[in-house]
Structure 1
Amino acid sequence: MHPHTHHPFWIAIHLPLLRLEVFVKPWFDAEELAASVVLSQGRVVAMSALAHQAGVCTGMRTGGVQMLLPDVRCFQRDVQKEYAALNAVATALLQYSPQVSLADDDSILIDISASLSLFGGLRTLRKRIQGTLQTLGFSATTSIAPVARAAWLLAREAARKKRAGKHALHLKKLSRRLDRLPVGLLATAPPLLDLLQGIACYSFRDLRQLPRPGLQRRCGKAILHELDQAYGEQSELHQWHVASPEFKARIELPDRIEQADALLLYARSLLAQLLGWLASQQLAVTHIHMELFHERGRQAIPPTLFDLQLAQACWQESHLLSLFRERLTQLKLDAAVISMMLEVKQTIQRQAQTYALFPEPGGKAEDHQRLLELLLARLGDENVLQSAPQADHRPEVANNWISIMKKRPAFERDNSRTALRPDWLLPQALALEIRQHRPYYRSELTIISAAERIEAGWWHEQVQARDYFMATDASQVRYWIYRERATDPDADEPVWFLHGIFG
């Protein structure tokens, strides 16, 4: 069934293991994760699956955990890391909707009503969001509903039951699903649980069947207000997440990384945040700066720095990822990396995409620019060149090349000249054999043009006195050859050279 896009739809993302996953990422196998717990004031507030299987539960003291698991890894809860992680996730999710809001209990809400057509429907959009969360290194449950509070409740219930999450697209189905939820799932319910269970009120249905005036006197207005919001009978206010005006993101690596290509996994996490930031600002990036940090303290080593200069502004994930992959594959590390930082140095306003009725032959200009950027990442700025001709009669001087990243100087072509010259000159002119009084290269060369006489360079003491000709061989390949002007009138044969090849 395809929902109508004019109806509101919310996707709720709950991160049940955020407190643990700010320290240990779920990119690895369970065996590599080992048993880990997060402690706050000496009690367990989060645990890995292996710790749970061993009998560890929330609220257990450190001593009890160590009795069950002598080799347990203990982390002290870090609220600042959790807040920074939630903001990083929210920034990354801005690529799917500008309306992203942080919610209670390590959750995020996204209004996707206007995003469904753009991303190909609910199923595709949900899959992409889950892929982004996996790239960021967080386990998540997701639920979709026409009401934000209801989606939030369903996502948390899915985490409680160890399920991926469900969606209820219509209010009738949503009401039936909400009726079955345990009353303790409401954010306002925990202080009232003993009272509610004492009057046999266990589910949302039970709570709604109680007389409202009496329930309000005994429990207050807040729980009724939250219940009405869940069923879509009360409006909600949301504070939208606003991305920073400048982009700088850092990630701490779980281990020392020795090989540069192994850093791509973590670079993708930074890239996901960058994509959300670019989408929220409607920007395209032209210059990215990356720093790879090594040892700290007494054995501190300066960070490894590299930049990605883009020939054309970009905001597409596939293209940026390919550039990162090429650069990291070519990078040689002097020491192990312990953290990474990505910073945007230069952006431009994103241009709206245009669709031509008749596409350009040979591909679009954007495809050409992406090829150049891929070559830059693979070969380096100094090895990808563009022509920058200079105003000089001497071919060696006029045929100048500079890096593709440099701005080509202004050059006015002399339209009065009719002589053709090849774009490809040999680095050094090649002396030709003379057979039967004619120049020879692979076969006998036949001259097919009048002479172009060049006499120049006397002011630099590099005098050239040459007659240039176009010539063809037996395979009809065209060459640019020249004959040195005879300075010795008694010379038997003129000296011929191959200087260029026509395309």
Structure 2
Amino acid sequence: VLKETTLARVLDSLPVTLAPFAAQHDHALTQIGCATLGDLRRLPRDGIVRRFGDGVLGWLAQARGEAPDPRVWFAAPPSFHASLELQARVESAEALLFAARRLVMQLAGWLAAQHAALSGFELRLEHELASRHAPRTSTLTIAWASPSRDAEHLLWLLRERLNQTELAAPVIGLALVASQVSEYAAPTDTLFPMAEAAEASLGQLFERIGARLGEQNVLQLFVEDDHRPELAMSARPYRESGAKRARRPRKAGKPQQEAGASAPVQSAFDLPEVPLPTQPRPAWLLEKPLKLATRGDRPVYRRPLKTLTRTERIESGWWDGEGVGRDYYVAADDQGRMFWLYRERIGGQWYLQGLFG
């Protein structure tokens, strides 16, 4: 159709059943003998409005180019889903990387078009039902700390995961699903290296080490809001710290922060600035305090110990049922070795808590 007159003639010859309102008024259109769009257009306008409403005349005018017909802009879906049918059955997880590379490159292109990044995706494997007990599908979940859209980095993480995966049955199809999508701000080009760039490269290094050795083996130390030495620090997987997870929630009964106040978050590589204790702390804490014997009211650890500092009292934990009341001291033996020990306020029993270097 190249002319308006040709457009009008072609539209008039089309069946009225193509109109979006035809199903709603099918019986009325049949009764009045209206079979084509031309028949509908030739009806009195007042009669069309009375029988079918104002929308019919507006739709006809837009179809003939007599009225504006605005279109809604295309919006890409908020998540990514792509599938691929393999040409042959694959029995090795490592061999799946060649096919999965195509899906990852599609994902990287989609992220670039969306100006977005993601922190994880799922690779779904469709298995050939070679045995009765083989599952129909299985899923590999790949996740990392900082949102990224670097295809090479994603492929590296996927390769390490596939190298550690044993297939339950031969694979005949793949599907890649990504829903953890967030906005991506491209780094600003600078003349000199910035600290943010170094932190990002270190983050990718830790993610790669975690992919090869297991995320549970790449840990980061966190200072906790607790005066009890055994609970004053925790080790969490790096991926959780990269997600900037807040400090663990307080247990029931412990005073909460004011409404609207957000818990401080520790940076991925910097320890928070906290006041130093009035007395020194050992670098090595025992996993469990060691009960000490006494000799003449002096604690004994292989040799009698002598306290060197004044009492430091720690009384905490009443809110979670694990309350403690302790008097801490720095002590030493006759050979100059130093220890950190405490005496229970109730009972007077001595315990060794840590060792100084």
State the TM-score, normalized to the length of structure 2. Answer: 0.55
Per-residue CA deviations over 1:89-146 (Å, capped at 9, x if unaligned) read xxxxxxxxxxxxxxxxxxxxxxxxxxxxxxxxxxxxxxxxxxxxxxxxxxxxxxxxxx
1:482 paired with 2:341, answer yes
Aligned-residue offset at 1:457:
4.3
Name the aligned partner's letter for residue 303 of structure 1. T
Name the aligned partner's letter for residue 273 of structure 1. Q
* 1:499 alignment partner in structure 2: 354
Question: In 2 relative to 1, CA 484–447 (structure 1 residues): closer, same or farther, beyond 3 Å?
Answer: closer
Match runs of 1:47-446 below 5 Å: 245=77, 246-295=79-128, 299=132, 301-356=135-190, 359=193, 364-403=198-237, 404-405=239-240, 407-409=245-247, 410=263, 418-419=277-278, 421=281, 425-429=285-289
Retained in 2: the 8 A contact 1:291–1:341?
A: yes
Name the aligned partner's letter for residue 328 of structure 2. D
Distance 1:322 1:433 in 2: 55
Aligned length: 253
Aligned-residue offset at 1:372:
3.1
Aligned-residue offset at 1:290:
1.2
* 1:237 alignment partner in structure 2: none
Aligned-residue offset at 1:444:
11
Distance 2:98 2:293 in 1: 58
Secondary structure of 1:260's partner?
Answer: coil
More helix by share: 1
Question: In 2 relative to 1, CA 288–424 (structure 1 residues): closer, same or farther, beyond 3 Å?
Answer: farther
Aligned-residue offset at 1:328:
1.2
Q: How much identity, in percent, do the aligned residues show?
A: 34
Secondary structure of 2:167's partner?
Answer: coil
Question: In 2 relative to 1, CA 303–464 (structure 1 residues): closer, same or farther, beyond 3 Å?
Answer: farther
Distance 1:352 1:289 in 2: 24
Secondary structure of 2:94's partner?
Answer: helix
Aligned-residue offset at 1:312:
0.7
Question: In 2 relative to 1, CA 295–500 (structure 1 residues): closer, same or farther, beyond 3 Å?
Answer: farther
* 2:39 alignment partner in structure 1: none
1:469 paired with 2:330, answer yes
Aligned-residue offset at 1:483:
3.0
Retained in 2: the 8 A contact 1:275–1:317?
A: yes
* 1:452 alignment partner in structure 2: 312
Aligned-residue offset at 1:257:
2.3
Aligned-residue offset at 1:381:
4.7
Distance 2:171 2:283 in 1: 45
Aligned-residue offset at 1:320:
1.3
Name the aligned partner's letter for residue 100 of structure 2. A
Name the aligned partner's letter for residue 95 of structure 2. A
Question: In 2 relative to 1, CA 325–439 (structure 1 residues): closer, same or farther, beyond 3 Å?
Answer: farther
Distance 2:162 2:170 in 1: 14
Per-residue CA deviations over 1:33-86 (Å, capped at 9, x if unaligned) read xxxxxxxxxxxxxxxxxxxxxxxxxxxxxxxxxxxxxxxxxxxxxxxxxxxxxx
Question: In 2 relative to 1, CA 422–286 (structure 1 residues): closer, same or farther, beyond 3 Å?
Answer: farther
Question: In 2 relative to 1, CA 446–463 (structure 1 residues): closer, same or farther, beyond 3 Å?
Answer: closer
Distance 2:126 2:292 in 1: 56
Unaligned runs of 5+ in 1: 1-241
Question: In 2 relative to 1, CA 272–387 (structure 1 residues): closer, same or farther, beyond 3 Å?
Answer: same
Aligned-residue offset at 1:465:
1.7
